[in-house]
């Protein structure tokens, strides 16, 4: 259990349906994924080449990098397609009072 506080990120209504939404939290860029099994969030920069995953292709639970097409499972951050080899950092996410919150 982490004791880091939950932080408001974005209203649920503002999320792109079945797609990835880019949100800035301080100096960090967070990717929020709307999927059939719920919301997931991760740091937005690809662990391979540093491109912004929010501009990538999103399908089911897989986000694909716009630069080299490395891909990650947004549920656990696991790399699932080359050239991505290192996992991306996923964040705890929840919805409270219509707001998406993350713990970072």
Partner 1 sequence: MAHRTVTPLTQALEEGKLTRDELKSLMQRSDGPAFRHLALWVVVLTGTTTLITLAGNSWLIWPAMMLHGIVLVHHFSLQHECVHYTVFRTRKLNNLVGQLCGLIIVLPHRFFRYEHCDHHTYTQLPGKDPELIPMPKTYGEYLFYLSSIPYWQAKFSELGRHAMGRLSEAEKHFVPREEHAAVFREARVMLAIYALIFAGMAITGWWGLIWYWVLPLFLGEPVMRFIRMTEHVGRPTVAQMSENTRTNLVSAPWRFLCWNMNYHAEHHYVPLVPYHTLPRLHEKLADHVHVEPRGYLGAHLDMLRQIREARA
Q: How far apart are CA 41 and CA 10, in angstroms?
A: 12
If one counts every other C-beta atom within 10 angstroms of the C-beta of residue 44, the result is: 22
State the minimum distance, in angstroms, from the CB of residue 38 to partner 1: 21
CB 21 within 8 Å of CB 32: yes
Scanning residues 4 to 33, which ones bind partner 1 (CB under 8 A)? 16, 19, 29
Examine residue 92 and tell whether it contacts partner 1 (CB under 8 A). no
Examine residue 51 and tell whether it contacts partner 1 (CB under 8 A). yes
Q: Report the residue from 7, 34, 68, 87 that binds partner 1 according to the rule CB under 8 A.
A: 68
List b or e across 83-100, with b for residues whose CB sees 16 or more CB atoms inside 10 angstroms. Answer: ebeeebebbebeeeeebb
Which residues contact partner 1 by CB under 8 A?
A: 16, 19, 29, 43, 45-52, 55-57, 59, 64, 66-69, 71, 80-83, 85
């Amino acid at each position: 259990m982490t004791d880091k506080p939950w932080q408001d990120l974005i209203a649920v209504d503002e999320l792109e349906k079945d797609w990835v939404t880019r949100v800035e939290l301080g100096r960090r860029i967070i990717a929020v994924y709307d999927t059939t099994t719920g919301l997931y969030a991760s740091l937005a920069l690809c662990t391979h080449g540093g491109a912004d995953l929010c501009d990538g292709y999103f399908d089911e639970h897989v986000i694909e990098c716009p630069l080299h097409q490395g891909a990650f499972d947004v549920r656990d951050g696991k790399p699932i397609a080359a050239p991505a080899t290192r996992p991306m950092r996923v964040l705890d996410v929840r919805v409270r009072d219509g707001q998406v919150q993350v713990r970072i």
